[in-house]
Structure 1
Amino acid sequence: MIAYLQHLSYWDWLALGTLLLILEVFGAGGYLLWIGIAAASVGVLTYLFPALPWALQFVLFGLLSVLTAVFWWQRQRAGSKVSAQPGLNQRGSELIGRTFVLHEAIIGGRGKIRAGDSLWLVIGADLPVGSEVRVTGQDGVLLKVEPL
């Protein structure tokens, strides 16, 4: 084994990089991509400097793997900024605080309101059709209402 390690060529590093990139295709979330790039980089360095000792090759691979992983981690954190539109893709949250007329009576704690061109299920105190209600919250697809 030690004889193999002492004679690592750039093909070995490029093969490792290719294997890691293939594994990345199966859904590693970006981490094997950067480690594969580090292995390919060591392969290029080994091609340019064929007398590079095997121990230094592994040290370079470790350092480049850590540096690229840190780069990826920082890039991921920078991409997760707070949205300027916090209610985006949260259908129903824009209805909180608005008032509506009951489309179907609330019986047994459930009824319906019409908001725009949609009917929404509501939960709250029993009320007859035509009562005005205010949306106070949301529980999944159910809107919580209270009488005005």
Structure 2
Amino acid sequence: MVETLNALGTWNWLIAGLILVGVELLAPGVFMLWLGLAALLVGVLSFVVPWSWQAQLLAFSVFALAAVPLWRRVGSRRAADTDQPFLNRRAEALVGRVFTLERPIVDGSGTVRVDDTVWRVAGHDAPAGSQVRVVAADGGRLRVEPA
């Protein structure tokens, strides 16, 4: 097996890198991409640096492990830059807004209508028609206080 790896040499890493990137295209998850890029980097460096297969394997391990914190840093920065920060977090977009109670808050629970949706609210008891301000969102329930 070692002889086969030595016979292919640098091309092993390039082929493995292309396969891993191809697997990433078939099943995206941004994990195989970094392994594939690490393999491609070792392959390209192997054209320049004549190193043993042990050194190549060590370099691949280092590049693959270094890719994880790099991706976390880059990925977290990209996630924050969006023109729709409340996408898939609709309840959080309602915090600070004022609504009229559709049903009274009795024993800490009532409802408000927001556009075409009825939301459950939690807060101090209040009659229907009262103005309430959303102070927090807990899943599908809004916490309110009198406006």
Unaligned segments of structure 1, at least 5 residues: none
Unaligned segments of structure 2, at least 5 residues: none
Aligned length: 145
CA distance in 1, matches of 2:59, 2:127: 74
Say if 1:31 and 1:72, in contact at 8 Å, map to a contact too: no
Aligned to 1:141: 140
Q: Which moved more, 1:34-43 or 1:66-75?
A: 66-75
Aligned to 1:91: 90
Deviations along 1:2-42, one digit per CA (max 9) or x if unpaired, are 43344234443343223323443334x32422332343455
CA RMSD of aligned residues (A): 3.9
Percent of aligned pairs with the same residue?
Answer: 36
Q: 1:1-148 maps to which residues of 2 (within 5 A)?
A: 1-24=1-24, 25-27=26-28, 29-43=29-43, 54-55=53-54, 57-58=56-57, 61-62=60-61, 65=64, 72-81=71-80, 88-89=86-87, 90-147=89-146
DSSP 3-state at the match of 2:118 = strand
TM-score, normalising length: structure 2: 0.61
TM-score, normalising length: structure 1: 0.61
CA gap of 1:95–1:21, structure 2 versus 1, over 3 A, is closer
The runs of at least 4 consecutive aligned structure 1 residues that moved more than 6 Å come to 82-85
